[in-house]
Every structure is written in C-alpha cells, then in structure tokens.
C-alpha cells in the first residue's frame, strides 16, 4: 500500500495548483482515465481499469485483486474573440491568456471474495479557468477579467455481482468547490452623452465548501461478445461562502470620485450557490475475438440545473446580483475502438457534444459551444503478468465558432473561437 499512499500524495499536491479548465459542455470535465479517453471517452460498458470508479463503478467486480491508478491530463486551451456592433464594435479583438491546466486523478479498487468490490477515488469532474489578456483594457472587463471554478471530488462506491452476468453498484460523492470572479465596475459620466467612468475593481472569492451526491451503476455481460453499462450520478449543490473586496479606481473627476467613495460597498462576506448537474450514461461494447473492442456511448447531462449564479452580499443586500444563465440539457455521443496486441494496445475514438449555453448566455465568463473531438491512445504492460500498465492519450478538440447573434444578455456581442489540446497519462498497478 506504500505505492497507493505515494500516488495519493502526488494527486493532492497536483490539486494545489489546479486552475480548473472546462473541456466538456459548460464547465464539465471528462478527462478521468487515459485508456477510456484514448477511445474518445467511450467506456461505460468496457472500462477495465480503476477509472471504472468514474466511468462505471459496477465494472469493479471484473477487476481482480487490488488495483491502484494515478496520473492525469494536461489541457491547453486557446480562446479568441472578435467584436461586432453595437458593442464592442467591429475591429475589436481579444484573447485569453495561453494556459496549461494539470488535472490529476487517483483511483483504488479492491475485490472482496467472489462477488464484491470497493473503490475510492479523487478527481475533478467540473471546473473553469478564464483569464483575459490585458485586464485594464479588455473590452469586456465590466463582465469579467478572470474567473476560476475549482472542484475536488472524493468518491467511494461498492459493487456486487448479482449473478455471473449482472453487476450493480452504489456510491457517494463528497465535492468541495470554490469560485472566484473578478471584474470592473463602471458609472455613467456626469452630463450624459453615454460616457462611462471605470470606478472600482470587484474581487469575489469563496472558500472551499462541501456538497454531497450519490451514484448508481450497472454492468451486464450476457456473453463474450457483448457488454452493456449504465450509470447515474446525482446533482450536487454547494452553498459557497467567501468574501467580496471592492477597490476604488480614481477618475479625473473629483465629483465622481467623492460620489463613488460614498456609495461603494464595504468589503464584506459574500455567498453563492454552485450547481453541478446530474449525468446519465449508457454504453454498448462489442468484443470481436480476444483482441478488438468497439464501443458507443451516450451521455445526457442535466445542465438545466444551472439557472443562474446568485451573489448575496451580507452587509449590503441592495447590491445582490443574479447572473442569469438558463442552460439547456445536453447530449454527448462517443465512439471508440481498442485493439490489443501482444506488445501494446492502441486506441482511437471520436465524440460530439452539444453546447449547454443558450445564445443569450454566451459570455466572456463562459463562451460555451458545441464541440468535436478526436483521440488516439496507447497502452503497454510491464513485468510479471503485466501487472504494471501505462496508458497515454492525445485529444484534439475543435469547438464550433459561437456568435452572440445580438441577443447577449451582457450586451457584449461578437464571435468566439476556441481550440483545446489535451494529453494524458495514467500508471496502474495490481496485486
């Protein structure tokens, strides 16, 4: 078990620097196991390593002995924006800072007797990282300059083999989340004419706060050629608590400075509600002989839970704000292939996912869009009975261009483009 403790320490250390990007729809993250990601994320039916704790806990009854897995992914997103009229106008171009996001994972499973298995794991199934270049001049800074949503999820599940063909599982999740939102406050210039003065920096940041959820899963293996899987992960609500800091920016107008100083809210505690949606997954895998597996999955995420982001100020409730989102539920379809050879295993896959954000809610905080992804994967076993395994994957994600269509709630109109590259590695050992 020294190996398990060492991997766990590495994972916890990795989370200390985790800025948490979004890769799946809205702020979902699906990078949880390199072998399944090599197949485009299609693993609900055929997952065969400790990442089953995420993709299908019922499959743990097919994992022998004790198995530990650690590793993660590195996401490298790039987002740009081109403005249109009426604001910020044609010719305005913006970019996010080029960022690299490490996403560590850790899973441990143990098979008890002939029919039972337990598993524990730590991962980050949700997150968001936004950092626009040149925050002092960014044209959307009245909406956001920087935003972070960080999530650490600890899960435990128990699986039971009902009969030689059917396994079921039940488990719970403990989810810690924190959020930060930075923007600028403006006030109309005296005398009208549409002018604006930038008068304050607003920094809202919560502490890590826990929320709770649960999951169900089943795995059906009617014969050697077919495997079926289904999972449900419940929603999680986190009632986050933090602080709001207001820093006045002096203008060239002394009258405006005095008025802002008199009305600017004091630094104070702030509260919000973070919503993490329920997810349904189903998969069918076909096994051709001893070396080929072909799988297709469908994932349904109840993003309609994300109705808004409320912000409650304890000292000045008149400053309370509700950022309307009203997201839509989404479907994600994935297809993957695995070919096992004596020396190594190679994989490839494809997926498409719908956008969760309606056009009205597309903003610099989260320019969500539909996406296509193509993946390649490689796996190798080492040592006696190949007890040590290393899996790698590479994903290229092409997000659809997203226009605000002049209906944006923030009156920030334009065209977003996003590209994401993701690479990952996991190391597993069984005994």
**What is the C-alpha separation between 33 and 277, in angstroms, rounded?**
21
- Tell me: pLDDT of 419 over 60: yes
pLDDT one-digit tens code per residue, 374-407: 999 999 999 888 999 999 999 998 888 899 988 8
Query: If you average pLDDT over every residue of the chain, what do you get?
Result: 91
- Tell me: pLDDT of 226 over 50: yes
Q: What mean pLDDT comes out for the span 316-326?
A: 92
Q: Which is more confidently placed, 9 or 272?
A: 272
The number of helix segments (H) and strand segments (E) in the chain equals: 4, 22
Give the model's confidence band at 71: pLDDT under 50 very low, under 70 low, under 90 confident, else very high: very high
CA angle 189, 190, 195 (to 5 degrees): 30
Tell me, what's the pLDDT at 20? Answer: 46
Tell me, what's the pLDDT at 99? Answer: 86
Q: For residue 341, what are its two tokens?
A: 């050879």
Whether the ω angle into residue 282 lies within 30 degrees of 0, i.e. cis, is no
pLDDT one-digit tens code per residue, 142-163: 999 999 999 999 999 999 999 9
Q: In the beta sheet, which residues pair with residue 183?
A: 202
In this prediction the pTM is: 0.90
Tell me, what's the pLDDT at 408? Answer: 86
With a CB cutoff of 8 Å and minimum separation 6, the contacts of 348 are 38, 39, 40, 336, 337, 374, 375, 376, 377
Q: What mean pLDDT comes out for the span 5-31?
A: 53
- Tell me: pLDDT of 10 over 60: no
Q: For residue 67, what are its two tokens?
A: 């198995």
- Tell me: pLDDT of 115 over 50: yes
């Amino acid at each position: 078990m020294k190996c398990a403790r060492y991997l766990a320490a590495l994972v916890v250390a990795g989370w200390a620097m985790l800025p948490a990007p979004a890769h799946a729809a809205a702020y979902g993250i699906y990078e949880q196991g390199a072998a399944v990601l090599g197949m485009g994320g299609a693993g609900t039916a055929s997952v065969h390593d400790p990442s089953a704790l995420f993709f299908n806990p019922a499959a743990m009854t097919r994992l022998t002995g004790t198995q530990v897995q650690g590793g993660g992914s590195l996401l490298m997103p790039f987002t740009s924006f081109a403005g249109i009229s009426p604001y910020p106008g044609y010719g305005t171009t913006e970019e996010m800072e080029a960022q690299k996001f490490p996403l560590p994972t850790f899973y441990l499973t143990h098979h008890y007797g002939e029919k039972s298995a337990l598993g524990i794991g730590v991962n980050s199934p949700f997150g968001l990282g936004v950092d626009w270049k040149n925050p002092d001049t960014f044209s959307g800074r009245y909406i956001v300059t920087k935003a972070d949503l960080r999530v650490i999820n600890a899960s435990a599940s128990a699986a039971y083999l009902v009969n030689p063909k059917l396994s079921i599982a039940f488990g719970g999740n403990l989810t810690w989340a924190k959020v930060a939102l930075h923007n600028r406050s403006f006030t109309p210039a005296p005398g009208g004419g549409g002018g604006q003065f930038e008068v304050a920096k607003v920094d809202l940041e919560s502490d890590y706060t826990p929320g709770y959820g649960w999951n169900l899963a089943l795995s059906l293996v009617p014969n050697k050629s077919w495997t079926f899987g289904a999972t449900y992960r419940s929603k999680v609500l986190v009632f986050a608590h933090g602080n709001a800091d207001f820093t006045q920016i002096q203008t060239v107008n002394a009258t405006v400075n005095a008025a802002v100083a008199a009305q600017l809210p004091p630094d104070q505690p702030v509260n919000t509600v973070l919503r993490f949606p329920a997810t349904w997954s189903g998969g069918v895998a076909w096994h051709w002989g001893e070396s080929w597996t072909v799988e297709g999955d469908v994932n349904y995420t109840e993003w309609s839970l994300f109705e808004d982001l409320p912000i409650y100020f304890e000292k000045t409730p008149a400053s309370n704000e509700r950022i309307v989102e009203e997201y839509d539920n989404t479907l994600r379809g994935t297809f993957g292939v695995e070919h096992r050879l004596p020396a190594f295993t190679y994989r490839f896959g494809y997926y498409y996912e719908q956008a969760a954000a309606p056009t009205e809610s597309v903003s610099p905080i989260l320019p969500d869009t539909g996406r296509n992804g193509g993946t390649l994967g490689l796996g190798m076993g080492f040592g006696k009975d190949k007890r040590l395994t290393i899996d790698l994957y590479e994903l290229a994600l092409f997000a659809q261009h997203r226009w605000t269509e002049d209906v944006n709630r923030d009156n920030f109109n334009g065209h977003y483009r996003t590209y994401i590259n993701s690479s990952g590695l996991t190391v597993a050992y069984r005994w």
